Amino acid sequence: MTDQRHPQDTTYSASISDPTTFWKHQAEQLTWSKPPKTVFSTKTKTLTSGASHPHWQWFPDGELSTTYNCIDRHVEAGNGSRTAIIWDSPVTNTKEKISYFELSKEVEVLAGVLREEGVRKGDVVLVYMPMIPTALIGILATVRLGAIHAVVFGGFSASSLAQRIDASQPRVILTASCGIEGSKGPLSYQPLVRDAIKASKHKPGKTMIWQREQARWDPVVKEDGERNWQRLVKSAKNRGLKAENVSVNSNDGLYIIYTSGTTGTPKGVVREAGGHAVGMNFSMRYLFGVRPGDVMFCASDIGWVVGHSYILYAPLMAGATTVLFEGKPVGTPNAGTFWRVLEEYKVNALFTAPTALRAIRREDPENKFFGERGSKGGLKNLRALFLAGERSEPSIVSMYQDLLTKHCADGAMVVDNWWSSESGSPISGLAQLPAVGEDFSSTAIHKPLQIKPGSAGKPMPGFNVRIVDDDGKEITQGEMGNIVLGIPLAPTGLTTLWKDEERFYKGYLLRFKGKWIDTGDAGMIDEDGYVHIMSRSDDIINVAAHRLSTGKLLFFSYYIRCQTILTLPGAIEQAISSHPSITESCVVPIPDALKGHLPFAFASTSTPSSSLSPPELLKDLNDRIRHSIGPIATLGGIIVAPGIIPKTRSGKTLRRVLREVLENAMKGDYEKAVNVPATVEDAAVVEKAKEIVRQYFEQGGGKELKAKL
């Protein structure tokens, strides 16, 4: 009997029921210096503490070079003239195109330079760079030598950089004289890097500096190991210096990416070379629908896992063109800059964060910039808009789906997807070329699964997504619980942390006794198999024993006569964002003497508000919340002001920071310092939020709220 299921569903089933056969086919699409005979192996790993846990390896006896697969194989196939990288920098008014052949020459020369500076297979090179082509070249040159890169977001504080220097112990640091923070102008990296090296216990042997004309690094102190990057490369080219690709074992590290830990100490997620290469090559075609010669614009930063995967590795694995963008969605110069890039370079797939689209909507609420280019046919090449980084509220998904349907390629769709630094590639989404799942060379066209605004699609191959209660037992489909992943993870997923096996075990396996990988997220899988990410597990608010998820979906159950009588999915922020004047919102818990906690909202509006807490707006929002959720979710208060919701550079809302600001204010500690992570995009937003909160409690509705406690 013919299987009538959608190809994405059959592909997923194949990857879970027979991972060996499934991933063997995907591995065969790459070039291996030593093809793997074993696809997958498992064992029990015992730690020094005596704890033990399941451990897995992908392609353990295989060897390959990631840079060969990203660059050289395309050149050797006769595609050297194809554009590999388009650099578009509105902050410097610079544009540049680099072909695969040109990229191969730059990478092999810089690899030769790094080898002369002492970098060998297995060494770590720390990259602290802005969004410029030499950043990608530096990463690829590191990998060409079989070394491991650790990219730190350019502009991170000296103390945060020092932390990562001590953690990764790099032999060399690759950096630049400055970065450019949107319309703020150049940010000198010299004091940041020097102070970090001074503060760190580990001292890198060399620091290579790419000089930018916007702000130079002067002087370059050779006695301190500082080197002028351009001069080293010029000398190498004159001498004919270059380095060949060095193959590594599939389970050797490719890179370390640091993600914030709950203790404040960054966790170094290790990405393994073989599984990463297989997963990148597969996901680029299967999920993103990108084939050789297509153009991918991932509007992220190389400091984040999204940038690693879909600015750099996946597009180059696919033989596609990647757009490297140095700018912001607004202000460089306006809210139409993304759409200019789409038209100018005939972009086929755009990947960005919901925060970027909210910023654009705030500046251009009527979508005039999109409409102007779309009405002239300039956006007809765009086939899909991918969103990740935080949950995309249904209103913004629906709005952009309407725009894509009207102005972009036939069938163009918005694809919300969910993943993390740990997963390395999307855990869920909607495959754009689903037939590729079981036959990578397939040219069959199947309509992707239908979007469900508010969900993050269906699980991707290899990620066994389950919903469990706090005891690790699976719960009924459609109910909210802890989102966990079965073992093994897909090949791109982590298997350990950098030099910290105990923390890996305690952070991901201990909670559910080694049976599941804990994602730290809460959510549900609906009746159609779509994944809904509701919140971080520790963001849930308890209101009179009802569990409310602040920023994502809401779930509560309560008991009468010891029986559960109600379970409702909804959304606090989603209900708030349904108000036509609300452009952005964030909900956090605030202490309440009777109920324990109440939801409290921070919001921005499209028109200036005469009050920090307009009573008519609060009433309207609570009416909307009651209608969509129920009375238990009533807001305890609201502050309306522009520019008071802090975010990370990757676009995630810093709810914990606002929660801490509120809790301090409730005690009258308005000036008390709050714990702001190094990933904050603009620390000044936190200070503004503190001042606005102070005004609210001293002069506004907060006086009454505080009096109730």
The Cβ of residue 65 has, within 10 Å, a number of other Cβ atoms equal to 24
Per-residue pLDDT for 598 more than 50? yes
User: What pLDDT was estimated at residue 551?
Assistant: 43
Give the model's confidence band at 125: pLDDT under 50 very low, under 70 low, under 90 confident, else very high.
Answer: very high
Per-residue pLDDT for 485 more than 90? yes
Q: What is the pLDDT of residues 433-474, one digit of tens each?
A: 999 998 999 999 899 999 998 899 999 999 999 999 999 999
- Greater confidence (522 vs 336) lies with 336
Give Cα separations from 460 to 297, 362, 529 (angstroms): 21, 33, 12
Instruction: State the pairing for strand pair 172-176/206-210.
Output: parallel
The Cβ of residue 298 has, within 10 Å, a number of other Cβ atoms equal to 25
**Any idea which of 216-220, 311-315, 360-364, 487-491 has the lowest mean pLDDT?**
360-364
The SS3 assignment for 655 reads helix
Spatial distance between the Cα atoms of 352 and 328, rounded to a whole number of angstroms? 11
- Taking a C-beta distance cutoff of 8 angstroms, is the pair 290, 320 a contact? yes
Kindly state the tokens that stand for 47: 């730690």
Q: What is the pLDDT of residues 523-542, one digit of tens each?
A: 899 999 999 987 665 555 44
Share of the chain above pLDDT 70, in %: 91
Spatial distance between the Cα atoms of 53 and 646, rounded to a whole number of angstroms? 38
Q: What is the pLDDT of residues 129-152, one digit of tens each?
A: 999 999 999 999 999 999 999 999
User: What pLDDT was estimated at residue 557?
Assistant: 28
Per-residue pLDDT for 682 more than 90? no
Kindly state the tokens that stand for 597: 């906690």
Query: Mean pLDDT highest for which of 347-351, 440-444, 629-633?
Result: 347-351
* Contacts with 376 (C-beta within 8 Å, 6 or more apart), sequence order: none
User: What pLDDT was estimated at residue 69?
Assistant: 98
* Contacts with 327 (C-beta within 8 Å, 6 or more apart), sequence order: 88, 89, 90, 91, 182, 337
- Mean pLDDT over the full length of the chain: 90
Kindly state the tokens that stand for 674: 């709050």
C-alpha 263, offset from chain centre: 21
Residue 146, Ramachandran bin (φ over 0: left; ψ between -120 and 50: alpha; else beta) = left
Q: What is the pLDDT of residues 504-530, one digit of tens each?
A: 999 999 999 999 999 988 889 999 999
Per-residue pLDDT for 544 more than 50? no
Instruction: Return the C-alpha torsion angle 482, 487, 492, 496, nearest 10.
Output: 90
Spatial distance between the Cα atoms of 160 and 261, rounded to a whole number of angstroms? 13
Spatial distance between the Cα atoms of 136 and 140, rounded to a whole number of angstroms? 6
* Contacts with 149 (C-beta within 8 Å, 6 or more apart), sequence order: 124, 125, 126, 127, 139, 142, 143, 254, 255, 256
Give the model's confidence band at 709: pLDDT under 50 very low, under 70 low, under 90 confident, else very high.
Answer: low
Q: Which of 373, 361, 432, 453 is nearest to 406 (CA)?
A: 373
User: What pLDDT was estimated at residue 393?
Assistant: 78
Residue 295, strand partner residues: 321
Give Cα separations from 566 to 295, 547, 563 (angstroms): 48, 12, 9
Residue 40, Ramachandran bin (φ over 0: left; ψ between -120 and 50: alpha; else beta) = beta
Angle at 583 between CA 406 and CA 479, to 5 degrees: 85
**362 membership: H or E segment, kind and range:** helix 354-363
The Cβ of residue 703 has, within 10 Å, a number of other Cβ atoms equal to 11
Spatial distance between the Cα atoms of 135 and 116, rounded to a whole number of angstroms? 19
User: What pLDDT was estimated at residue 1?
Assistant: 52
Residue ranges and CATH numbers for the domains of the chain are 544-707 (3.30.300.30)
- Greater confidence (130 vs 390) lies with 130
- Greater confidence (67 vs 595) lies with 67
* Contacts with 509 (C-beta within 8 Å, 6 or more apart), sequence order: 53, 54, 516, 517, 518
**Any idea which of 170-174, 451-455, 626-630 has the lowest mean pLDDT?**
626-630
Residue 351, strand partner residues: 298, 386
Q: What is the pLDDT of residues 51-80, one digit of tens each?
A: 999 999 999 999 999 999 999 999 999 999
Spatial distance between the Cα atoms of 651 and 680, rounded to a whole number of angstroms? 9
At position 124, the amino acid (one-letter code) is: V
Average pLDDT over residues 493-504: 96
607 exposure class (CB count in 10 Å sphere: 0-12, 13-18, 19+): exposed
Kindly state the tokens that stand for 7: 């190809």
User: What pLDDT was estimated at residue 548?
Assistant: 45
Q: What is the pLDDT of residues 1-28, one digit of tens each?
A: 566 899 999 999 999 999 999 999 999 9
DSSP structure class, residue 219: -
Question: Measured on CA atoms in the order 563, 568, 572, 575, is the torsion positive or negative?
Answer: negative
- Taking a C-beta distance cutoff of 8 angstroms, is the pair 418, 456 a contact? yes
User: What pLDDT was estimated at residue 571?
Assistant: 53
Q: What is the pLDDT of residues 213-257, one digit of tens each?
A: 999 999 999 999 999 999 999 999 999 999 999 999 999 999 999
- Taking a C-beta distance cutoff of 8 angstroms, is the pair 245, 31 a contact? no
The b/e string for 441-457 (b: 16+ C-beta within 10 A; e otherwise) is eeeeebebbebbbbbbb
150 exposure class (CB count in 10 Å sphere: 0-12, 13-18, 19+): buried
pTM score of the predicted model: 0.86
Q: What is the pLDDT of residues 254-285, one digit of tens each?
A: 999 998 654 457 899 999 999 999 999 999 99
Spatial distance between the Cα atoms of 622 and 631, rounded to a whole number of angstroms? 8
Strands (E), 177-286: 178-180, 186-188, 206-210, 226-228, 248-249, 253-259, 267-272
